[in-house]
């Protein structure tokens, strides 16, 4: 069974992005992941990119940075496809309006930066 979560960590960089998006492996086997879509939404406004960003061989208990972005004062969301052995699952994750939650950010284990952890909701095929 594939078990993962995704964290948005405050990580300002030279690229003018404020957030690093990390995939956290909470399962018992290594996995590969592809970020199929990443978007922003507020009401009817927003859009999505199709980055197809990949990370490979994320071991149990470890994390890997898969994307960098800004919250643009909007909800951020993504679609992630994770493969472990012969199993593959698509997941949806989302983050609230993070700029409103800066005082609630906690250090993300395995990443070492303050952030917000989102569960991954399995998507139907």
N-to-C CA span, the chain: 16
Q: Is the pTM of this model over 0.75?
A: yes
> What digits encode the pLDDT tens for the residues 82-92?
999 999 999 99
Report, as an integer, the average pLDDT of 16-38. 97
Domains of the chain in sequence order: 4-122 (2.60.40)
Report, as an integer, the average pLDDT of 100-125. 93
pLDDT higher than threshold 90 for residue 102: yes
CA angle 107, 5, 70 (to 5 degrees): 65
């Amino acid at each position: 069974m594939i078990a993962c979560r995704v964290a948005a960590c405050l990580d300002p960089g030279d690229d003018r992005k404020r957030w690093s998006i990390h995939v956290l492996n909470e399962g018992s086997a290594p996995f590969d992941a592809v970020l199929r879509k990443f978007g922003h939404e507020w009401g009817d406004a927003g859009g999505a990119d199709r980055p197809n960003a990949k990370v490979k061989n994320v071991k149990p208990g470890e994390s890997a940075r898969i994307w960098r972005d800004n919250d643009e004062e909007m909800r951020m969301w993504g679609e992630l496809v994770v493969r472990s052995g012969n199993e593959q699952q698509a997941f949806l994750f989302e983050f609230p309006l993070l700029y409103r939650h800066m005082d609630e950010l906690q250090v993300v284990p395995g990443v070492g930066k303050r952030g917000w952890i989102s569960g991954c909701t399995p998507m139907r095929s």
